[in-house]
Amino acid sequence: MTCDETRLLLHAYLDDELDAAQSASLLAHLGACNACAARYADHAQLRTALAQPALYRRAPDALRARWRATAPVAAPASTTARPRRGPLAFALAAGFAGALLLTSPAWIGSLRAPGTADDALVAQAVSGHLRSLQPQHLMDVASTDRHTVKPWFEGRLDFSPEVKDLAGQGFPLAGGRLDVVGGRTVAALVYRRHLHVINVFQWPGEAAADPQPYRQHGYTAIEWSGGGMRYVAVSDLNEAELRQFVREYREGAPLR
């Protein structure tokens, strides 16, 4: 591989878009060429720097609120809103629909083709995940320290949830909260992967044998059980990464 080729392909390599043969050839060149190795180091540094969350522009809450009003409204009203700013009637409809979605988690399940009771529970977990992404809904206890998160649940649940530290595996703990799945109060742990949120719901019980990943609207839910507890992990991560998370979680040392 020449230096000119390397200048282009090292980006595809950084982005994990290069096939194995070309990757090997690129790495061989980087090992032999100081100039290209230095260029690669610069771009790797640049990539890391661009991942700083401060560069990500999150939507202002006021704008979000227009599209995620939560109060149910009975009748549409006439509007004087500027069209470009979004018709009020539409906002009201959004509010009503939003309220339906927010107040009846089971209702999402009913949109699907009739499935098993287990699927319904997992669907509720997915809607719990969606709900958790609303402003101010993600966490009751925000902490990256499992020794803070685990005790927080004491007295709030009739079981002691398992909280694992997976920061070393690239899934830092962000916090926890109480949620409701299938009419019972469950623990929801919040982990992060880059900018993605992973919710892990857990409660006493057993999952069906060999549960299949559940997909809905770009979200994936993976269910498993162990130690008398039932777990559902939900995220918009791609399925491979969510599987990796589940594997790390199952293998991670529990906090006793």
Partner 1 sequence: MSADSFAAAPTDAVTMARFEAVVLPWFDAAYNLARWLVRNDADAQDVVQESLLRALRYFGSFRGGDARVWLLAIVRNTCYTLHARHAPESQRESLDDEVLALPDEGPSPEARTLLAVDIGSLQQALERLPPPLREVIVLRELEECSYKEIAAVTGQKIGTVMSRLARARERLRADLSPPSTEAGRHDVR
Contacting residues toward partner 1, per CB under 8 A: 7-8, 11-12, 15, 17, 34-35, 37-39, 41-43, 45-52, 54-60, 63-64, 66-68, 76, 78-79, 81, 83-90, 93-94, 96-98, 100-101, 108, 111, 130, 133, 194-195, 216-219, 236
HSE toward the beta carbon, residue 41, CA cutoff 13 A: 8
Residue matched to tokens 């282009």? 8
Beta carbon of residue 11, minimum distance to partner 1 (angstroms, whole number): 5
CB closer to partner 1, 100 vs 142: 100
Contact at 8 Å (CB) between 144 and 120?
no
Beta carbon of residue 226, minimum distance to partner 1 (angstroms, whole number): 29
CB closer to partner 1, 33 vs 255: 33
CB closer to partner 1, 123 vs 149: 123
Alpha-helix residue ranges (DSSP H) falling in 15-77: 20-32, 34-50, 61-67
CB closer to partner 1, 149 vs 237: 237
Beta carbon of residue 156, minimum distance to partner 1 (angstroms, whole number): 28
Closest CA to 161 of 112, 94, 232: 232
CB closer to partner 1, 15 vs 158: 15
Distance CA 182, CA 204 (A): 12
Beta carbon of residue 123, minimum distance to partner 1 (angstroms, whole number): 11
Beta carbon of residue 49, minimum distance to partner 1 (angstroms, whole number): 3
Q: How far is CA 250 from CA 92, 139, 157, 230, 233, in A?
A: 44, 22, 21, 12, 11
Strands 219-226 and 184-193: unpaired
Residue matched to tokens 């994990």? 16
CB closer to partner 1, 27 vs 101: 101
CB closer to partner 1, 124 vs 163: 124
- Angle 192-220-227 from CA coordinates, rounded to 5°: 75
H or E stretch at 250: helix 239-251
Q: How far is CA 137 from CA 69, 175, 179, 220, in A?
A: 14, 12, 10, 20
**Which pair of tokens denotes residue 225?**
């059980």
Beta carbon of residue 66, minimum distance to partner 1 (angstroms, whole number): 7
Beta carbon of residue 242, minimum distance to partner 1 (angstroms, whole number): 15
